[in-house]
Amino acid sequence: MLRFDPTDRVADPTGPCLWHMLTGINGPTCGGTRMFFYLLHGDLVQAARHHLAALVAVPFLAYLGMRFVVSAWLGRELPALRLPLWAYGVYVAVPLLYSTVLRNLPWAPFAWFDIPNLTP
């Protein structure tokens, strides 16, 4: 991921966003690779711009990964995440709304989240 810059117009192994190519609008998967690129480079503002919903999930996924590694390698158990059931529903509903509707609206503040497809 550090060898390729998904924000330029040079062809990368990840390719362009298929959702954007097919529909012409941003969808649930658009911007994920660029978000990860900016996150690895410490640019949280651009990471949030490219995929806010995925960025919010990063700390939870990191903890789940750390919990797995500690369990598998060290044989110890870290506490499980105990979120109420409604929190999972909110995390499914809000990112879908954000990814398919809000980031495609042409006025501020939503226009800031619109990311162009970088096909050459």
pTM of the full structure: 0.75
Domains of the chain, by residue range, sit at 18-112
Q: Which pLDDT does position 19 carry in this prediction?
A: 74
Dihedral of alpha carbons 68, 70, 40, 113, sign: positive
Local confidence band at 70 (pLDDT 50, 70, 90 cut-offs)? very high
Token readout for 27 is: 């969808």
DSSP 78: P
Local confidence band at 81 (pLDDT 50, 70, 90 cut-offs)? confident
